[in-house]
Amino acid sequence: MFNFAGHLYFDVGVATVTAFADKRHPSELTEADLEQIAEYMEVEYLRQPLRSFLTVAFPNSGFTQPAFFEQPEKQKLYAHRVLKSFRADAQRTSEICVFTGKPATAVSYDVKDELLPGRAFRQHIPLLTGEEPINFFPYGDAGLPVSGEAMLAIQAFPLGCAKVGGRLLAVHSDNDEILLHFAAAFLNQNRRAVQLAREAGSTKLPESPLSRGTLLIDTLLKASRMQKEALEEEQAFSLTAYHLSNSGQGVSLDIFYLPMEIIGFLREMQSDKYRHQWEAIVRRAWEVAPTKKGGKQKQSDFQPRINWLYEDIFNLPWNAQKFVRIYFLRQALRMAKPLSGDPRVGYSLRQEIELVSWGITARFLRRVMNMEQERIEEIRKLGDRLAEYVSVENDRRFFQGFLRESRYPYFRSLLLKANLASVRRGNPPLITLEPYITVFEEGDEVARADWSFARDLVLIRMIERLHETGWLRKNSDVIPEDNAGEMQADQD
């Protein structure tokens, strides 16, 4: 009966109807399934808490307009027209629905019969224009021609969204399974919230306890497709999240895009090879109880809303270098507000050596940053050779200089001196010209713009190897308690 059309409101609405009917795909839906969710909405949309919830999606509709509240028969007529015009016996017009390609219905979607039959406006479809403006409509005819099936799906749209910050959070994807997963997850949350609000006598639907970025990643990772072994043949997909309000008090729309490269990386982190260490990194990114003045933390019933790693994922790949330094090299974010509950303030390389992983870093470089495999391999080899040199020669000074030097000429001199010292002891060179240029330079003595980031990557591999050999346990003081090169928080 249905299929996805590539439009946010329609597709999320169809996915919501599918989840409500406990079907696996919209093509399995029957008229009885549509009747079932229409009956549910016809009851719940006319009372609290959903009546208040719908003001963010359908202001001035028969569900939310106060003028309708004292006219129950008029409100029921409105609900019947917008929710049950899909029926086979419904009359149709010669106009074609913009979503389904089926004929639009012959009834007005409002109790004002002077409106064009089958035409939808802002009270029916979020972010559309009102009844009077003719801008952006074909031939200057106000409103969109919509079939009863599409109208039902769009009215179901809010049920397949999460409520975050007073707005709707909807997720669209080019993967049908992921689209259905998000709609089903948000539908189940909303139905539970309706029940809890009614039991508590509340007129408001509670918001999600998580921030929008954290909620998106947390929900995504619970999808069965994300949890399948990465060794399976992988179907790449992306997703787009829309944080919107159609409220008359403030129309707004923010769009967040998660490309297939980043989703592929997250999916790989769910495999047995990386899951344990990745989950440890994620756990340390959850918001902690804010500290009061005097050093006391708030009560133990504190529930974290934000996972900062999840939030920062939405700024990738533009903030990739910062992401690596904070989460993989454990550099503290000193400019974050110290009492805010941001755990990144307390990150410490010395205290969190076990969270440093070259394997995770290498997959991030390849998947997210699209770094050449040859350069990644040269970085790993250099890290191995330098770690062996530090361990065998117990060269604490070299390690400290490598960790802290921020000026390229001095950094280059540091490597040359170590290289010369290794050769004088009768050992092979630590680094030769071609690999060095591949990692650090554009040409002879011309540093790469990202040379310090390359140094951080080599350092990640060195630290992992030195931790494995036990050298860092014996020489933990070579890492300063306050990390060098501390990151500054974003000003926004």
pLDDT tens figures, 439-472: 998 877 788 889 999 999 999 999 999 999 999 9
Band (485; pLDDT cuts 50, 70, 90): very low
* pLDDT cut 90: percent of the chain above it: 74
Residue 233 pLDDT exceeds 80: no
**How much is the mean pLDDT over the chain?**
90
Residue 330 pLDDT exceeds 80: yes
Output 486 or 354, whichever has higher pLDDT.
Answer: 354
Give Cα separations from 117 to 106, 148, 274 (angstroms). 5, 11, 57
Q: How far apart are alpha carbons 369 and 178 in whole angstroms? A: 24
Residue 447 confidence (pLDDT): 87
pLDDT tens figures, 151-199: 999 999 999 999 999 999 999 999 999 999 999 999 999 999 999 999 9
Residue 487 pLDDT exceeds 50: no
Residue 237 confidence (pLDDT): 93
- Side chain identity, residue 163: K
Output 229 or 87, whichever has higher pLDDT.
Answer: 87
Span 326-351, mean pLDDT?
86
Give Cβ neighbours of residue 316 (< 8 Å, ≥ 6 apart). 262, 323, 368
Span 123-138, mean pLDDT?
75
Residue 242 confidence (pLDDT): 98
Per this entry, what is the length of the chain? 492
Residue 61 pLDDT exceeds 80: yes
Nearest of 199, 220, 218, 196 to residue 207 by alpha carbon: 196
DSSP β-ladder status, 92-96 and 144-145: unpaired
Q: How far apart are alpha carbons 161 and 156 in whole angstroms? A: 9
Q: How far apart are alpha carbons 118 and 173 in whole angstroms? A: 28
What backbone torsions phi and psi does residue 281 show, to the nearest 5 degrees? Answer: -65, -45
pLDDT tens figures, 317-326: 999 999 999 9
The HSE-up count of residue 212 (CA atoms within 13 Å, CB side) is: 21
Span 229-247, mean pLDDT?
81
Two structure tokens written together for 254:
């923010």
Q: Are 277 and 200 in contact (CB under 8 A)?
A: no
- The reply to whether omega before 428 is within 30° of 0 (cis) is no
Q: Are 143 and 137 in contact (CB under 8 A)?
A: yes
Q: Are 369 and 316 in contact (CB under 8 A)?
A: no
Residue 251 confidence (pLDDT): 92
Q: Where are the beta strands (DSSP E) in 224-316?
A: 239-245, 252-258
pTM as predicted:
0.90
Kind plus residue range of the DSSP H or E element containing 444: none
Among the ranges given (202-206, 238-242, 335-339, 439-443), the one the predictor scored with the smallest mean pLDDT = 335-339
Q: Are 341 and 287 in contact (CB under 8 A)?
A: yes
Q: How far apart are alpha carbons 325 and 328 in whole angstroms? A: 6
Give Cα separations from 326 to 196, 234, 330, 456 (angstroms). 39, 29, 5, 11
Q: Are 340 and 288 in contact (CB under 8 A)?
A: no
Among the ranges given (85-89, 115-119, 282-286), the one the predictor scored with the smallest mean pLDDT = 115-119
Q: How far apart are alpha carbons 337 and 149 in whole angstroms? A: 50
Domain residue extents for the chain: 315-492
> Which residues partner with 169 through β-bridges?
162, 243
Among the ranges given (262-271, 359-368, 431-440), the one the predictor scored with the smallest mean pLDDT = 431-440
First-to-final CA distance of the chain: 46
Question: What is the Cα 391 distance to its own chain's centre?
Answer: 41
Band (139; pLDDT cuts 50, 70, 90): low
